[in-house]
Amino acid sequence: MKKIDVLAWGVKHIAKNHRNVKCDTDYEEYHSMSIMDTATPTLSDARMLCEDLGIDRQDCYADESWGVIVIDLDNWLYEHAQEEYTPTGREMWKRHGVEIGSEI
């Protein structure tokens, strides 16, 4: 899978695992993805996902004023999004036993 596809799947997976909150993976217009939650465990998982994909830590943050976790893709989108993702087996942001890309 391409890294951008893993990111979209991961954002949906994290949102479902954390209180089944809403998320937005349509990155075309604003070059970002978001999870409608600012809880520390959700932010921690989102940051681990970003680290695994090579997205800078400061580009994944909680915007308390909007109640949303933002993943800013401006720098990453054109340089790394289309690279193939190679799972490491240490993806701590996803549930154990769930395969990346499987049905959410």
Examine residue 36 and state whether it is found in any structural domain, yes or no. Answer: yes
Query: Could you report the per-residue pLDDT of 44-83, keeping only the tens digit for each?
Result: 999 999 999 999 999 999 999 999 999 999 989 999 999 9
Full residue range of the structural domain in which residue 16 is found: 3-79
Examine residue 27 and state whether it is found in any structural domain, yes or no. Answer: yes
**Residue 88: pLDDT above 90?**
no
Please tell me the predicted confidence (pLDDT) of residue 18.
Answer: 93
Backbone conformation region of residue 93, classed left if phi is above 0, alpha if psi is from -120 to 50, else beta? alpha
Percentage of the chain lying above the pLDDT 70 cut: 100
The average confidence (pLDDT) of the chain is 96
Cα–Cα nearest to 68, from 23, 10, 31: 23
Examine residue 85 and state whether it is found in any structural domain, yes or no. Answer: no
**Residue 34: pLDDT above 90?**
yes
The kind and range of the H/E element at 80 are: helix 74-80
The number of folded domains in the chain is 1
Examine residue 33 and state whether it is found in any structural domain, yes or no. Answer: yes
Examine residue 88 and state whether it is found in any structural domain, yes or no. Answer: no
Examine residue 96 and state whether it is found in any structural domain, yes or no. Answer: no
What distance, in Å, lies between the first and last C-alpha atoms of the chain? Answer: 16
Give ∠ CA 31-37-43 in degrees, rounded to 5.
75
Examine residue 39 and state whether it is found in any structural domain, yes or no. Answer: yes
Examine residue 28 and state whether it is found in any structural domain, yes or no. Answer: yes
The kind and range of the H/E element at 92 are: none
